[in-house]
Amino acid sequence: ARICVGLVTLVSPRHATRLNQLSLGGSLALILLLGGGAWVFMSLFSHFIIGLLMGHEYVAYAQYLPRIGLAMLFLALANALQMYHIAVKYYRFSGASFAVFLFTLGLVYHNHVIIMSVVNDIVVGSFILMLIAATQNLFFTHYKLKEINA
């Protein structure tokens, strides 16, 4: 969340699109570095982390930690992209978040028999949100650069 707050303060509609994209790229790289590193660590040592943070009676649930961590990483990246769009006052991309939320909710409702199915549905939903936000950013950047060069 703090990376996104920093991103919002660095980005402005008055700045050049390339400068804003550099700030966004730096924020995404930082999220990938810190979040990706934490995800790898949690994936490799999930039993140790669960035992340390929650107690050894919950170690049986350690199998869910890598997938939940992956969903959180996807959501952090999508959040940074969405905050970027808000910072540059391009609000029309915000509707996709609600649509993906409803899609993910439908997946969870349909596949809620096993916990791992629910976790997998959340990973899929967060990945789709990140993918849509990244695609929107590509279109936004292309549109802005085309507008500047015209």
In tens digits, what is the pLDDT along the chain, a chain of 150 residues?
A: 566 666 666 777 777 777 888 888 888 999 999 999 999 999 999 999 999 989 889 999 899 999 999 999 999 999 888 888 888 877 777 888 889 999 999 999 998 889 999 999 999 999 999 999 999 888 877 776 666 665
Per-residue confidence (pLDDT) for residue 3, from 0 to 100: 65
Q: Is 87 exposed, middle or buried (0-12, 13-18, 19+ CB in 10 A)?
A: buried
Amino acid identity at 131: L
Per-residue confidence (pLDDT) for residue 8, from 0 to 100: 65
Place of tokens 């699109």: 17
Per-residue confidence (pLDDT) for residue 32, from 0 to 100: 94
Helix (H, G, I), strand (E, B) or coil at 112: coil
CB contact at 8 A, 50 and 61: yes
CB contact at 8 A, 72 and 125: no
Per-residue confidence (pLDDT) for residue 103, from 0 to 100: 93
- Phi, psi torsion values for 88, nearest 5 degrees: -90, 10
Place of tokens 């409803």: 102
pTM of the predicted protein model: 0.83
Per-residue confidence (pLDDT) for residue 146, from 0 to 100: 64
